[in-house]
Amino acid sequence: MSLETSVERRSLPLEYPFGIARGTTTERDVVFVRVEDDGGTTGIGAAAPSRHYGETAGTVEAALPALCSVVETVGDPHRLERIERRMRETVRRNPSARAAVSIALHDLVAKRLDVPLYRYWGLDPSKTLATSYTIGLDDRETMREKTETALERGYGTLKVKLGTDRDLEIVRTIRSVAPDVELFVDANEAWTPREAVGKIERLAEFDLAFVEQPVPAEDPEGLQFVYERSALPIAADESCVTLADVPRIADRCDIANLKLMKCGGLREAKRMIATARAHGLEVMCGCMTESNASIAAACHLAPLLDYADLDGSLLLADDPADGVPMPDGRIDLAGLDRPGTGAVLESAFD
């Protein structure tokens, strides 16, 4: 058996400018990866790199030739453990580049077996859940309008970005528009520990599900300080990057938030989920702003999760890839009528 790989970079505009505490973006550079076997079956993946984790589209493009060489040298997509181990040995950083290849290989393997990825893993497609839809930072009127649009589109779970001096006003505004949705907030490391405890105490009146990453990841003691005093459950995102981080955050939060683009691949993501469960944590799978070429793969983890924040493709103005159906935001694995991850990419490589 032989495998061939190809790569293409695209810049995808967002539907709205997307603001978090660290800044605002209007487009996302995505690097698509294709792995094709000698029978013409093709697996598709994508990297959505984040500067916050030391990656850019340029570093991904620089890393992918070596990663693709590993794939072509091993030559058998079913040897997933061997390929992913060699990729980690070859490129220690650039997790989104490794994730793109991992996703493409899993897509290819499941297609070769003519089953959707969740079935390859033996998961129950009825045990799924809805993704949250993210309201990025903006002026209050724009955030109100984005919330109204999300409700019109049927989303019943919202995530609101915070990290400003008007956080309480923002949440009050969102709740006035969406009194009945499940709601959680994400400070993206913007608060000090004492500030976080005070804000969370006031935010608790708005019936929030949890607060994500209230303090900087570089301050684990601060995260523990908040966790021990918080009026709401705490989720760790920037503090939970790889498998090794899970034991470190186990007594500092309630929820571990993993992302394929942080951890480097699907096999690592499943290991993180199992480890988080062993430490008594709930689990969420999040994302960057991404194409369905990678979001589709993460959707197949849904039966293993407590929360899903997989709206990355929903935030794009136009996604060149189709993926797992999400009617009203609900991840519908049972409704997927294609093998593999379900991602279909419009002739990107033609």
Q: What is the pLDDT of residue 334?
A: 97
Q: What tokens appear for 215 in the block?
A: 């303090």
pLDDT category, 76, cuts 50, 70, 90? Answer: very high
pLDDT category, 347, cuts 50, 70, 90? Answer: low
Distance CA 223, CA 239 (A): 9
pLDDT category, 1, cuts 50, 70, 90? Answer: confident
Average pLDDT, the chain: 96
CATH of span 120-345: 3.20.20.120
Q: What is the pLDDT of residue 2?
A: 92
Topology of the domain covering 3-114: Enolase-like; domain 1 (3.30.390)
pLDDT tens per residue across span 154-210: 999 999 999 999 999 999 999 999 999 999 999 999 999 999 999 999 999 999 999
Has residue 350 got a pLDDT over 50? Answer: no
The H or E element spanning position 142 is helix 140-152
Q: What is the DSSP letter of 289?
A: S
Instruction: Delimit the domains of the chain by residue range.
Output: 3-114, 120-345
Q: Find all residues with CB under 8 Å of 310, minimum gap 6, and list them.
A: 131, 285, 286, 287, 295, 298, 299, 302, 331
CA distances from 98 to 2, 6, 7, 187 (A): 20, 14, 13, 28
pLDDT tens per residue across span 251-297: 999 999 999 999 999 999 999 999 999 999 999 999 999 999 999 99
pTM of this prediction exceeds 0.75? yes
Percent helix, strand and coil across the chain, each to the nearest 5:
40, 20, 35
- Output the CA torsion sign for 27, 294, 240, 234: positive
pLDDT tens per residue across span 84-116: 999 999 998 899 999 999 999 999 999 999 999
Q: Write b or e for each residue in 83-101: b if 16 or more Cβ atoms lie within 10 A of its Cβ, otherwise e.
A: bbebbbeebeebbbbbbbb
Inter-residue contact 91 to 98 (CB < 8 Å): yes
Distance CA 98, CA 64 (A): 8
